[in-house]
Structure 1
Amino acid sequence: MDRSEFREHLFRVQDGLQLYARSYGLAASSGGTKVPVVCLPGLTRNSRDFHELAGFLASPTGGGHFVISLDSRGRGRSERDDDKRHYTVAMETLDLIAACAHFGVEKAIFIGTSRGGLILHHLVGLAPTLIAAVILNDIGPVIEIEGLLRIRDYLNAATGPASWLAAPRYLQSIHGADFPILRDDDWHGMARAIYRDEGGLPVADFDPAIAAQLHALTADMSLPELWPQFDALTGLPMMVVRGEHSRLLSETTVDEMKHRHPDLVTVTAIGQGHAPLLHLDGPRQAIAAFVRR
């Protein structure tokens, strides 16, 4: 199996909903010996975000890990939930526990991007023995309202790209100022990760009800902080990747995370905003070194 290959899985979780996942490399049942890596995408993103990183971590150069990348409920190829109230971090944490059971994972290194990282803050309270180590991608116990409002606005925009040809430039027009390091092929890759094809046109690959939950946000809203949950993680190996231009995770919050977890590995994704592409130079090498420890 080369880095571009993966296996596809469909399985049911605790309430009967069918979820989708990709796996890379050798599972323990097939002779794999390394601690598996489980990748959790952001609010409206999916397993395709991790394709290049997962392939790298599964390769001999990246450590030869068994890597699982999930589509959360309502995203990617996982089923949309008829009960929109189930699109919560609490329910998605239960889904993660069910996914680990399906794959026979007893302990893993978890990589959580944004929403995925919030799920890990909750996982430690429900199934702490599952966690070998944690990598938080541009997320922490404090979320900056400015960044969340920006996510609200572009996810709920009335327009989108008019064609696949226009999709990369459309994304660059929204995110380019925060991601000056990205090249043309990076924008094309982002478009392939975010959109699915419907009748030859790109369509955002998530249930619109997920983005609609953000409508109630206002600039003066006080968001709950997760310091108690973060403190429960501080006995574990942990890394945080922060985008240099992130509007969601502040340097002040990272400093406090470091104060509470002196062994925290901190990485800045130069030239990136929220949320950093982890397969690019810098984050990729730092993650490979971290999971190799």
Structure 2
Amino acid sequence: MPAQFHDVFCASADGLRLHAREIGPAASSALPVLCLPGLTRTTADFEVLAQVLAEDPNTPRRVVAIDYRGRGLSDHDPDPAKYAVPVEMGDVLAVATHLGIGKAIVIGTSRGGLISMVMAASQSPLLAAVVLNDIGPALEMTGLLKIKGYVGIRPTPTSWDDAANAIRTMFASDFPNLDEAGWLAWAGRAWRETDGRFEQTYDPALAQTLAGLDPDAPLPKLWEAFDAMKDLPMMLIHGALSDLLSRATVEKMAAHHPDLALVTVADQGHAPLLADAPTIARIAAFCARCDRAA
């Protein structure tokens, strides 16, 4: 029988209701995996990957994907200023504590990778290893401005086909090989339908986190936080078409972390979907190596 997902709810440090999805054996001897989504993303982004890792015939493992505040089934924060990496790191730690997870392999997509780096800089004992999905200590302004352009209140679709077409319009150049089923699946992660009405799966107030983004004032680089991971097993997944993480930054990351396991995903931009078999196989192999090292 396939492993089943279970919804988990707990309280944040400031009393918001946080949501996570868990799958796999809690008593496994393998290191658990914590999946941290991108800025506007949810636990749904990790369903395919989580199912495969949880059902690995050799080392089935516990996998937990987390909705930070304002995303998915977690409460929205009445104060948008709290949609910030340090606060969201606290949400991750609250869920891990609630589930009794003291050490884990953390897979961070985009925003989730930034949270991982800040966690390392704060010397959190939670990190056993890190997989960064198309994120690094230096980011390209082109990609940041693109994200700023689509985060917030968007036109409400009238059907799932309409929703899929809207997603395709925004991201077709980043994912040229995604088929109709893929765009519909993406729409299903970006919207939910309740009583015939479509609603985004994140708080539109998240747009305020990027309001101050200025092309003439680049964001500070996070090399010190990245270097705090120097003793951790690390994998970097890089979208070959990414406009957020440059090849030059990838090469510099590899120079800073000589044991970095690099996976370049062809024909995908920011951020790789982590749903294709070759990428999942590389992540599973990396997790198994981390088990042996632990």
TM-score normalized by structure 2?
0.94
- Matched residue SS, 2:160: coil
Give the 3 Å change call, closer, same or farther, for CA 10–88 of structure 1 in structure 2.
same
- How far apart are residue 173 of structure 1 and its match? 1.3
Q: Does 1:93 align with 2:89?
A: yes
Which amino acid is the alignment partner of residue 35 of structure 2?
Answer: C
Kindly report which structure 2 residues correspond to 1:124-273, keeping only aligned pairs within 5 A, or say none. 124-156=120-152, 158-273=154-269
- After superposition, what is the alpha-carbon deviation per residue over 1:130-188, rounded to whole angstroms, capped at 9, x for unaligned? 11100000000011111010011122464243321211122111101110121222111
Which amino acid is the alignment partner of residue 226 of structure 2?
Answer: F
**Structure-2 residue corresponding to 1:118:** 114
- How far apart are residue 61 of structure 1 and its match? 4.3
**8 Å Cα contact 1:47/1:76 also seen in 2:** yes
Distance in 2 between residues matched to 1:123 and 1:62, nearest whole Å: 30
Q: Which moved more, 1:191-200 or 1:272-281?
A: 191-200
Gaps of 5+ in 1: none
Distance in 2 between residues matched to 1:71 and 1:186, nearest whole Å: 22
- Matched residue SS, 2:277: coil
**Structure-1 residue corresponding to 2:2:** 2
Q: Which moved more, 1:32-41 or 1:148-157?
A: 148-157
**8 Å Cα contact 1:269/1:282 also seen in 2:** no
- Matched residue SS, 1:129: coil
Which one of 41, 44, 47 corresponds to residue 48 of structure 1? 44
Q: Give me the CA root mean square deviation.
A: 1.4
**8 Å Cα contact 1:97/1:127 also seen in 2:** no
Give the 3 Å change call, closer, same or farther, for CA 221–105 of structure 1 in structure 2.
same
**8 Å Cα contact 1:9/1:22 also seen in 2:** yes
Q: Does 1:275 align with 2:271?
A: yes
- How far apart are residue 268 of structure 1 and its match? 0.7
Give the 3 Å change call, closer, same or farther, for CA 160–274 of structure 1 in structure 2.
farther
Distance in 2 between residues matched to 1:238 and 1:130, nearest whole Å: 14
TM-score normalized by structure 1?
0.95
**Structure-2 residue corresponding to 1:18:** 17
Aligned length in residues: 289
- After superposition, what is the alpha-carbon deviation per residue over 1:180-215, rounded to whole angstroms, capped at 9, x for unaligned? 121222111111111111332332211111123223
- Matched residue SS, 1:249: coil
- How far apart are residue 71 of structure 1 and its match? 0.5
Q: Which moved more, 1:122-131 or 1:155-164?
A: 155-164
Q: Does 1:37 align with 2:36?
A: no
**8 Å Cα contact 2:136/2:245 also seen in 1:** yes
- After superposition, what is the alpha-carbon deviation per residue over 1:83-121, rounded to whole angstroms, capped at 9, x for unaligned? 221110010111111111111011100000000000001
- After superposition, what is the alpha-carbon deviation per residue over 1:62-89, rounded to whole angstroms, capped at 9, x for unaligned? 8411000001101000001112211100
Which amino acid is the alignment partner of residue 131 of structure 2?
Answer: I
Distance in 1 between residues matched to 2:257 and 2:160, nearest whole Å: 44
- Matched residue SS, 1:143: coil
Identical residues among aligned pairs (%)? 44
Give the 3 Å change call, closer, same or farther, for CA 7–158 of structure 1 in structure 2.
closer
Q: Does 1:107 align with 2:103?
A: yes
- Matched residue SS, 1:9: strand
Which amino acid is the alignment partner of residue 131 of structure 1?
Answer: L
Distance in 1 between residues matched to 2:168 and 2:175, nearest whole Å: 8
